[in-house]
Amino acid sequence: MRRPLTVGVIGLGYWGPNLLRVLADDPEVAVRWLCDRDAERLERFARRHPWAQTTTRLEQVLDDPETDAVVIATPLSTHFELAAASLAAGKHTFVEKPLAPSAALAGELLARAGRASRLLMCGHTFLYSPPVRAARLMLDAGALGDVYFASSSRVNLGPYRNDVSVVWDLGPHDFSILLYWFGAPPETLRATGRAALASGIADVAFVTMTFPGGVVANVELSWLAPSKLRRTVVVGSEKMLVYEDGAAEPIRVFDRGIQLGTFGRPALSYRTGDTISPHLDGREPLAAELGEFVRAAREGDPLHAQSALALDVVRMTEAAERSLLQGGVAVAVSDGTVAEPRRFRPQAPDVLVEEPAA
């Protein structure tokens, strides 16, 4: 058996313990360092992981030549600094999502990883979840026909964040899934929301996107909801797909649709076939994700597609936040500038608005 990949885990707050648990269970990994600024918290985790060393100073981890890789689960504002230091120390680096607090910083991290020839991977766990992957397979196979639009809700009562808005907290989940499914970022997006609880931190937002080819998506993000819902509907010309994370049947495929006639007046018909809930593999997404990180670190696979997607997620999030701050103006995802709105049907006369007859 090969020598395990030696890993330092940085940050043991909300999400870090999950990463630690999965890494500790992976026979291909040796958790060599636990690092957190809170000494008491460190002590608590040390008890369950007696073979790992603990430190409150990142430098100790980075200076250890026996450490192959670093896994970072700290607040967003620190992602760039910590990941840049890790890459500079020659460590393969995993950063929790989103990769960085701006597209410029995210791009810079990618560039540095390239120069250092080290793996940089961002923790978009949903891309490793069986329902998200099953939906991607169906979309790739064209099973839905032409995709018309997507509508998503990701809401719950908290957990509230006081460092970033709901757009930065929850948006990257939906943005990563839509990018993974549709293969390209939207051209423009708009976001409207509200900072209901604390001035300056939006706790609800509605983001509307237009993808190349005309696919429209609407994403509702909120920390203020009576119950948890994480549900995305994708409507195509042949099938409609409902993905509900955490449901007993997370993917449901509806063979339903409307056909219009082609000549003269429409001879409308409705198609209503069977509904199928495909059986999905039960693998834990986090284990699949970290397994991919470990494999790629060992094989020198730079995971270019994953990195490019992580950068696009930051571009979308940044654009959504900017639109939100400016009252919903259209923002171009490519460069974050305010965009010219794309008219829906510019050639058609605005027939519905008539003047009174007299």
Q: Minimal distance in Å, beta carbon 119 to its own copies?
A: 20
Residues in the chain: 358
352 sits near its own copies (criterion: CB under 8 A): yes
Q: Minimal distance in Å, beta carbon 65 to its own copies?
A: 25
**Sign of the CA dihedral 277, 129, 41, 81?**
negative
* Size of site (CB under 8 A) for its own copies: 101
Q: Cβ distance 10 to 58 under 8 Å?
A: yes
Q: Minimal distance in Å, beta carbon 77 to its own copies?
A: 9
Other Cβ atoms less than 10 A from the Cβ of 232: the count is: 23
Q: Cβ distance 171 to 155 under 8 Å?
A: no
Helix, strand or coil, per DSSP, at residue 262? coil
102 sits near its own copies (criterion: CB under 8 A): yes
Q: Minimal distance in Å, beta carbon 266 to its own copies?
A: 6
111 CB-contact burial (10 Å; exposed 0-12 / middle 13-18 / buried 19+)? exposed
Q: Which of residues 217-236 bind its own copies (CB under 8 A)?
A: 218, 220, 222-228, 233, 235
103 vs 109: CA distance, rounded Å: 10
In degrees, to the nearest 5, what angle opens at C-alpha 57 toward C-alphas 55 and 58?
A: 105
Site string for its own copies, 310-349 (x = CB under 8 A): --------x--xx-xxxxxxx-----x----xxxxxx-x-
240 sits near its own copies (criterion: CB under 8 A): yes
Nearer to its own copies, 117 or 259 (CB): 259
210 sits near its own copies (criterion: CB under 8 A): yes
136 sits near its own copies (criterion: CB under 8 A): no
135 vs 66: CA distance, rounded Å: 40
For residue 195, the number of C-alpha atoms closer than 13 Å in the C-beta half-sphere is: 14
Site string for its own copies, 53-92 (x = CB under 8 A): ---------------------------xx--x--------
Site string for its own copies, 252-291 (x = CB under 8 A): x-xxxxx-x----xx-x-x-xxxxxxxx------------
Radius of gyration of the chain from its Cα atoms, rounded to whole angstroms: 23
Q: Minimal distance in Å, beta carbon 121 to its own copies?
A: 20
